[in-house]
Amino acid sequence: MVTDFEFKSVYDINDLLRIMELLRSPEGCPWDKEQTHESIKSSLIEETYEVIEAINKKDNELMCEELGDVLLQVVFHSQMAKENGSFDFEKVVDGVCQKLVERHPHVFGEVKADTSDEVLKNWEDIKNKSKNRKTATDSMLSVPRELPALMRSQKIQKKAKKVGFDWDSVDGALQKLEEETAELKKAIKENDKENCFEELGDLLFSAVNVSRFIDCDAEQALTSASDKFLSRFSQVEKLAQERGIDMKNSSLEELDRLWDEVKKGSN
């Protein structure tokens, strides 16, 4: 049991750092002491998505709580790094402060930037210089492979656009989408599993290209489509139960009629 801890009605960031240090100490929590960067890395992703959920729900109280959970993950990783001598929380804070000052020369220096577009261009230029990225390929390779696939493809395509490697209009992107659809159909017809995998990826990549031209976020669009499917499926299932229809033993045509009925009712 820890004996040198002071209970408070209100804690601050220093208290959080101290609590995490105690949790990882010999007298601390068995679970916390066992963790590594690798063992809890998925928690950082989960907590981040929970912040997004709170934002989408416009729930400020929940957002405050979930932001605290994200901060906890930062402190947790920082404490483990401190223990192995690589860095600590103060180094993390210093690093982000240095970055903010460096990448806002229009605020902390003499550079002029009157619009958000100018700010973003300056940010990207400074970032590429500090990371020694000299080519468009260097910039593309900097996009983490661990990002959600749709988000990653959007970022890569935007970087390609900056050097002129892009369609002139959405028409070119739509034509490419049709070409990739035809190629996937051909691979399916030939029962070429390996080619199906490749062509499906090309089709999805092309769909993301279209999303950029119509100014729609592909990740959010797919999330919305999944939500819509779930909502309509729930109504189909409810309608089937009301009419005594066994969905498992029904034909696709019968279920499709229920789907169309629900779809018309929702329009």
What does the alpha-carbon distance between residue 85 and residue 76 come to, in Å, rounded to a whole number?
14
Q: Which residues of the chain, if any, have pLDDT below 70? A: 267
Q: pTM (2 decimals)?
A: 0.82
Task: Please report the pLDDT score of residue 3 as a whole number.
Answer: 73
Please provide the average confidence, as pLDDT, over all residues in the chain.
Answer: 96
What does the alpha-carbon distance between residue 215 and residue 172 come to, in Å, rounded to a whole number?
15
Cβ-contact 50, 36 below 8 angstroms: no
What does the alpha-carbon distance between residue 130 and residue 116 come to, in Å, rounded to a whole number?
21
Task: Please report the pLDDT score of residue 267 as a whole number.
Answer: 66
3-class SS letters over 223-235? HHHHHHHHHHHHH
Cβ-contact 24, 84 below 8 angstroms: no
Cβ-contact 254, 246 below 8 angstroms: no
Q: Any idea what DSSP says for residue 248?
A: G
Cβ-contact 79, 21 below 8 angstroms: yes
What does the alpha-carbon distance between residue 110 and residue 104 come to, in Å, rounded to a whole number?
10
What does the alpha-carbon distance between residue 122 and residue 225 come to, in Å, rounded to a whole number?
35
What does the alpha-carbon distance between residue 60 and residue 64 come to, in Å, rounded to a whole number?
6
Query: Which residue type, as a one-letter code, is found at position 72?
Result: L
Query: pLDDT by residue (tens digit) across 63-114?
Result: 999 999 999 999 999 999 999 999 999 999 999 999 999 999 999 999 999 9
